[in-house]
Structure 1
Amino acid sequence: MKNIYITDLDHTFLRNDLSISDYTKTIWNAKANDSILSVATARTYKKTAQFLDGVHINAPMILLDGALIATMDKKIIDTKFINRDISDMIIDEGWKFGIYPFVLALSDSKNLSEAFLYDRVLNKYQKEVLTRYTSDDNLKECQNIRAMDENFKIVYMGEEEQLRELAQHLELIFGDNLKYIFAPEAYIGCYFLTILHKDADKSHGIKSVSEHVGFDLEKLTVFGDNFNDVGMFELAGTSVAMFNAQEGVKELADRVLEHTNDEDGVAKYLEALKNGK
């Protein structure tokens, strides 16, 4: 049976400038004939496909923190949505703390078109994020933002204290009917709070991909750096943390690499396997 390799993108497979080196592409692509290869990321399908240009992926991808499982050719395998009413309630509660979220939703299932909604009222961190998406055609500015029918996730970005209080407030209201990811945002230097369907995470995504492809989890190796990767670590036969991973994540990994994402850590690990190290 084939080995399976599934990697996180940001701060793991991608370098900090959001590129993938030719060396990493060469080493990764060499595995395509005898291995199952995919990614698990908080990113949308659109961004993931852009980043993975020239990279072989031969299994469904775990996208949007597990809210979407889809193939590179846009076949949707599984979705986990927050409905419009609950999403709008979350937005209303967030505004009590003086902040609106980004809302990432499915606008067209036939063509796997995603919508990225944002309000006219933005903090400095949200404005910085949007500068990275200026060329995207799925952005939609809103006045008094409202959700869509099928929402993948709701994302707040801001100061740690503000978002921690908001997370606690939302958990009191919605409890375990939703999933909450609260963590540092390494690119911009703030915190993010992501709210998802209760079953939307990378571990559920791994199970969906496994059922679709048919592989043995013991032969699965996963790579990650942050706390939203821990669910994958718990399922995989081998879990690998980057040298630049969060300390708590390193403690849960089977192996911690000697190299960072900027030093092609994933590729160097795969090359060492090839050389029997």
Structure 2
Amino acid sequence: MKNIYITDLDHTFLRSDLSLSDYTKNIWNSYADRSILSVATARTYKKTAHFLQGVHVNAPMILLDGALIATMDKKIIDTKFVTKEAGDTIIEEGTKLGIYPFVLSLVDDELNEAFSYSTTLNSYQSEIIKRYVNDDHTQVFENLRAMQNNFKIVYMGDEALLRELEKNLRAVFGEELKYILAPEAYMGCYFLTLLHKDADKSHGIQSVSEAVGFDLKRLTVFGDNFNDIGMFRLAKTSVAVANAQKEVKECADIVLKHTNDEDGVAKYLQEISNA
């Protein structure tokens, strides 16, 4: 039976400039014939497919923090949506504090996505939007509302403000939603992600396991941030890169000596291959 390797992307597999070295690609791809390979990321299908050009992925991908499970050829395995009603309430709660989110939604069964945002942006959001200037799936609204099928709703800002928003949302929704409050390493701020209560990487791994039929006792996962902890607890072997958050390292079976910018995942895979 094959071993399974599932890696987070940002700050784990990808370098900080969002690239992949030829070394990492070659080592990862060398496992393709003898292993099940996939990714678990907060990224959308479109961005993930772009970053993984030339990289072998032979199992469904866990996307958007587990809200979408899909193959590289766009076959949808599972979805976990925030409803329009809940999405609109989330937006309204943010409005009370003077902040507005990014809303990532599914447009159709071809995995076309919508990235919606308000005309009112804070400095962190404005910086993010610069990266999407040429994307055709972004849409801006003076009166931002949720769509019918929303993968996730994401706020960016200062930690204290987002903690206050999380507290207010928990008062409304309780455990009906999943709340992820974590540092945003690229921007130096925090983000608060709101998802369906079962949209996470651990549930995603269960979905991939059912679709492919692999044994969780042969699973190794790689990560760096709080949204990786769930899959760390599920896997036989959990591996944190050297630049991972302290709490993530504490949950890992193995903490690497190398960071994402030093090809940590690939060096680990090469090491165990030579063992």
For Structure 1 versus Structure 2, the TM-score category normalised by the shorter chain is over 0.9
Q: Which amino acid aligns with 2:86?
A: I
Match of 1:242 in 2: 241
Match of 1:32 in 2: 32
Identity of aligned pairs, percent?
Answer: 72
Secondary structure of 1:108 counterpart: coil
Match of 1:92 in 2: 92
Match of 1:216 in 2: 215
User: Normalising by structure 2, what TM-score?
Assistant: 0.99
1:127-177 C-alpha deviation (Å, 9 max, x unpaired) = 011111122111011111001000000000001111010011101110000
Residue 96 of structure 2 is aligned to residue 70 of structure 1? no
2: distance between equivalents of 1:144 and 1:217?
45
Match of 2:117 in 1: 118
Secondary structure of 2:107 counterpart: strand
2: distance between equivalents of 1:133 and 1:270?
33
Deviation, structure 1 residue 108 = 1.0
Match of 2:224 in 1: 225
1: distance between equivalents of 2:133 and 2:10?
19
Match of 1:152 in 2: 151
1: distance between equivalents of 2:212 and 2:237?
19
Match of 1:139 in 2: 138
1:249-269 C-alpha deviation (Å, 9 max, x unpaired) = 000000000000000000000
2: distance between equivalents of 1:169 and 1:84?
19
1:96-135 C-alpha deviation (Å, 9 max, x unpaired) = 01001000000112x1101000110000000011111122
Match of 2:173 in 1: 174
Secondary structure of 1:23 counterpart: helix
1: distance between equivalents of 2:33 and 2:66?
26
2: distance between equivalents of 1:32 and 1:137?
33
Q: Which amino acid aligns with 2:53?
A: D
1:206-227 C-alpha deviation (Å, 9 max, x unpaired) = 0000000000001000000001
1: distance between equivalents of 2:61 and 2:151?
15
Secondary structure of 1:4 counterpart: strand
Q: Which amino acid aligns with 1:157?
A: M
Residue 129 of structure 2 is aligned to residue 130 of structure 1? yes
Secondary structure of 2:103 counterpart: strand
Deviation, structure 1 residue 16 = 0.2
1:57-108 C-alpha deviation (Å, 9 max, x unpaired) = 0000000000000000000000000110110011001100100100000011
2: distance between equivalents of 1:155 and 1:148?
14
Match of 1:205 in 2: 204
Q: Which amino acid aligns with 1:126?
A: Q
1:11-64 C-alpha deviation (Å, 9 max, x unpaired) = 000000000000000000000000000000000000000000000000000000
Q: Which moved more, 1:134-143 or 1:64-73?
A: 134-143
Q: Structure 1 stretches of 5 or more lacking a match?
A: none
Match of 1:274 in 2: 273
Superposition misfits of 4+ residues, deviation over 3 angstroms: none
Q: Which amino acid aligns with 2:98?
A: G
User: Normalising by structure 1, what TM-score?
Assistant: 0.99
Match of 2:254 in 1: 255
Q: Which amino acid aligns with 2:271?
A: A
Q: Structure 2 stretches of 5 or more lacking a match?
A: none
Superposed CA RMSD in Å reads 0.5
Q: Which amino acid aligns with 1:59?
A: A
